[in-house]
Amino acid sequence: MGALALAEPRAFLGVQSSATGRVWRDRLDARGNAAALAIRQRHGLPELLARVLAGRGVGLDEAESYLDPTIKRLMPDPDALTDMPAAAARLADAAERGEQVAIIGDYDVDGATSTALLVRVLRAAGLEPFFHIPDRQFEGYGPNVEAVRTIAGRGAMLLVTLDCGTTSGEALAEATKLGLDTIVIDHHQAPEKLPHATALVNPNREDDLSRLGHLAAVGVTFMLAVALVRELRKRNFWNGARPEPDLLRLLDLVALGTVADVVPLHGLNRAFVGKGLLAMRARENIGLRALMDVSRLSGPPAPFHLGFLLGPRINAGGRIGDATLGTKLLLTDDPAEAATIAAKLDRLNEERRAIEKATLEQAEAEALASLGHDEKGAIVLASGEGWHPGVVGLVAARLKERFGRPAFAIAFLGQTGTGSGRSIPGVDLGRAVRHAVDEGLLEKGGGHPMAAGLTVTREKLGALRAYLEEHLREQVEAARALDHLEIDGAITAGAATGELCAMLERAGPFGSGNPEPVFALAAHAVAYADPVGSAHVRMRLRAGDGRQIGAVAFRALGRPLGDALLAARGQPLHVAGTLSRDNWNGQERIELRVIDAAHADPLTAR
Position 584 scores a pLDDT of 66
Is 428 among the domain residues?
A: yes
Position 604 scores a pLDDT of 44
Position 10 scores a pLDDT of 83
Those residues whose C-beta lies under 8 Å from the C-beta of residue 584, and which sit 6 or more positions away, are: none
Is 355 among the domain residues?
A: no
End-to-end CA distance of the chain: 47
Distances 226 to 245, 481, 492 between C-alpha atoms, Å: 10, 44, 47
Position 50 scores a pLDDT of 97
Domain that holds residue 444: 372-481
Position 136 scores a pLDDT of 84
Query: How much of the chain, in percent, has pLDDT values that exceed 70?
Result: 96
Give 436: exposed, middle or buried? Use CB within 10 Å, 0-12, 13-18, 19+.
Answer: buried
Local confidence band at 2 (pLDDT 50, 70, 90 cut-offs): very low
Q: Please compute the mean of the pLDDT values over residues 334-343 and round it to a whole number.
A: 98
Is 457 among the domain residues?
A: yes
Same domain (yes/no): 192, 98: yes
Same domain (yes/no): 404, 469: yes
Query: How much of the chain, in percent, has pLDDT values that exceed 90?
Result: 84
What is the widest separation between alpha-carbon atoms in the chain? 83
> Given 215, 247, 264, which residue is the final one in a domain?
264
Higher pLDDT, 55 or 481: 55
Confirm if 18 and 486 have CB atoms less than 8 A apart.
Answer: no
Same domain (yes/no): 175, 199: yes
> Given 431, 452, 481, which residue is the final one in a domain?
481
**Where residue 405 sits, what CATH number does that domain have?**
3.10.310.30
Same domain (yes/no): 409, 522: no
Same domain (yes/no): 455, 552: no
Same domain (yes/no): 125, 192: yes
Is 300 among the domain residues?
A: no
Same domain (yes/no): 421, 507: no
Local confidence band at 282 (pLDDT 50, 70, 90 cut-offs): very high
Same domain (yes/no): 463, 552: no
Same domain (yes/no): 390, 432: yes
In this predicted model, what pLDDT tens digit does every residue of 380-413 receive, in sequence order? Answer: 999 999 999 999 999 999 999 989 899 999 999 9
In this predicted model, what pLDDT tens digit does every residue of 234-268 receive, in sequence order? Answer: 999 998 889 999 999 999 999 999 999 989 999 99
Parallel/antiparallel/unpaired status of strands 587-599 and 181-185:
unpaired
The helix (run of H) or strand (run of E) holding residue 338 is: helix 335-371
Position 105 scores a pLDDT of 97
Those residues whose C-beta lies under 8 Å from the C-beta of residue 53, and which sit 6 or more positions away, are: 36, 39, 45, 63, 66, 67, 507
Same domain (yes/no): 86, 150: yes
User: Across the strands, what pairs with 514?
Assistant: 511
Is 284 among the domain residues?
A: no
Same domain (yes/no): 597, 461: no
Total tally of structural domains belonging to the chain: 3
In this predicted model, what pLDDT tens digit does every residue of 67-90 receive, in sequence order? Answer: 999 999 999 999 999 999 999 999
> How many whole angstroms separate alpha carbon 578 and alpha carbon 580?
7
Position 464 scores a pLDDT of 96
Length of the chain measured in residues: 606
Q: What is the pTM of this model?
A: 0.90
**Where residue 170 sits, what CATH number does that domain have?**
3.90.1640.30
Those residues whose C-beta lies under 8 Å from the C-beta of residue 115, and which sit 6 or more positions away, are: 103, 105, 131, 133, 162, 327
Same domain (yes/no): 498, 470: no
In this predicted model, what pLDDT tens digit does every residue of 298-312 receive, in sequence order? Answer: 888 999 999 999 999
Is 432 among the domain residues?
A: yes
Is 329 among the domain residues?
A: no
> How many whole angstroms separate alpha carbon 565 and alpha carbon 479?
27
Is 352 among the domain residues?
A: no
User: Across the strands, what pairs with 185?
Assistant: 162, 201
Local confidence band at 585 (pLDDT 50, 70, 90 cut-offs): low
> Given 243, 264, 285, which residue is the final one in a domain?
264
The answer to whether residue 371 scores a pLDDT higher than 90 is no
